[in-house]
Amino acid sequence: MLFPPRYAPLVVSVLMTTYMAGLMTLAIILVNTGPGEGFLTRWGQAFLVSWPIAFVLITVGRPLILRLAAKLIRHP
């Protein structure tokens, strides 16, 4: 499935937040509770809480972060 270019920021936000929230919740759950019984359930619950938060933060913050990064990059 391909999206029109106008959806690029949204697609990037979905992919980036899925990747970030998935790996961060995996690491945190493993460190805090270990890979024992119910691990996938705990991980899934943590992901369902963290992903929407990450999505909103990235979607709202991305333009600001890109502007800040542009100011921090030295151009020849």
Q: Give me the domain span that covers residue 66.
A: 47-75
In a domain, 51, yes or no: yes
Instruction: Name residue, tokens 């996938």.
Output: 40
In a domain, 54, yes or no: yes
In a domain, 16, yes or no: no
pLDDT attached to residue 61: 94
In a domain, 41, yes or no: no
In a domain, 59, yes or no: yes
In a domain, 32, yes or no: no
What is the reported pTM? 0.80
Q: What total number of domains does the chain contain?
A: 1
Tens digit of each residue's pLDDT (9 = 90 or more) over 4-51: 999 998 999 999 999 999 999 999 999 999 999 999 999 999 999 999
Q: In angstroms, how far is CA 4 from the centroid of its own chain?
A: 22
CA distances from 57 to 10, 50, 76 (A): 12, 11, 32
With 0-12 CB in 10 A as exposed, 13-18 as middle and 19+ as buried, what is 9?
middle
In a domain, 63, yes or no: yes
In a domain, 19, yes or no: no
